[in-house]
Amino acid sequence: MYRRLLFLFLCLSTLLPAQKFPDLDPDNESVYRVRTLWEGIGGLGVMVGATSGIDALRDKPSISDETLTRLQNMEVGRLDRWGLEQDALKRFKSEEVSDYFFNGSVLLPITLFIDKKFRKDWLDIGVLYLQAHALSAFTYAFSPLGPRFIDRYRPVAYYDELSFDDRRFGNNRNSFFSGHVSTTAVGTFFFTKVLSDYNPQWTAGHRAIAFTLASLPPAFVAVQRVRALKHFPTDTVVGLGVGAFFGIMVPHVHKVWARNHRTSLSLGGGFHDGAGGAGLVLTF
């Protein structure tokens, strides 16, 4: 599990440095190359499939009473012990708070359209945002990294002060990784990535501050999900990495695609010292 976590952050770290794109004018042209119809249909299809997969994960078999009793005597890793040191009676309040930030992060990229330079590209940005969420959800629902293949008990199953009825639900097998945190990270990191791409004048320092701020909402949700007894700390760290990866990667790939397909055509002519000249330049 820790190797997967290290791999995610190594991949993410390669995306953060700023890149210079020639002749970029976000006020007058789209930063991204998007085939809106086909990519929109594809993203919607992946999202529908992922949603169905996530619903199916909630119907895992119930946890037996014998297993619940055995969990009370099991040791967890040092990094995850904090997940078993919470106040079980306050779990619902923490869950409610995490939902507020979760929902707010999903809506955050909509605020980009207050500015007309984003508003003119609303369809491209909207399709990319759908893709980012769809890929993150699909990773949770069907990849070897998610609970379909990793049957990890949520912290709530370990708390002997709670009744067996509270602890035996099949959904309590889906601790790894945190879908709430990954979805929150998609929203905040996508918002920051698009904001950065449309402001090429930003320095490396500006971007470092922006992406640091983008990590705060999912980090807060991560803490609340641990307090809600839904996840161990490592579940939330991996969720943050997955969400941030797709929130950055999807627009980044389309930005590179736009750069590689951008063409400029210039015609010019003039006379100098009695000599005439004309030129045609096509640049890819």
Ordered by where they begin, the domains of the chain are 2-283 (1.20.144)
What tens digit of pLDDT does each residue of 195-233 get?
999 999 999 999 999 999 999 999 999 999 999 999 999
Q: How many helices (H) and strands (E) does the chain have?
A: 10, 2
DSSP at 283: E
pLDDT at position 262 over 60: yes
pLDDT at position 49, please?
97
pLDDT at position 127 over 50: yes
- Residue with structure tokens 């006379």? 271
Q: Is 186 in contact with 247 (CB distance < 8 Å)?
A: yes
How far apart (Å, rounded) are the C-alpha atoms in residues 123 and 37?
10
Query: Which of 143, 153, 140 is closest to 69 using CA atoms?
Result: 153
pLDDT at position 259, please?
82
How far apart (Å, rounded) are the C-alpha atoms in residues 21 and 15?
15
End-to-end Cα distance, the chain: 43
pLDDT at position 126 over 70: yes
pLDDT at position 24, please?
57
Find residue 135's DSSP bridge partners. none
How far apart (Å, rounded) are the C-alpha atoms in residues 120 and 228?
41
Query: Which of 144, 147, 139 is closest to 242 using CA atoms?
Result: 139
Phi then psi dihedrals of residue 255, to 5 deg: -70, -45
DSSP helix, strand, coil percent of the chain (3-state; round to 5): 65, 5, 30
Least confident of 38-47, 64-73, 165-174, 238-247: 64-73
pLDDT band at 73 (very low <50, low <70, confident <90, very high): confident
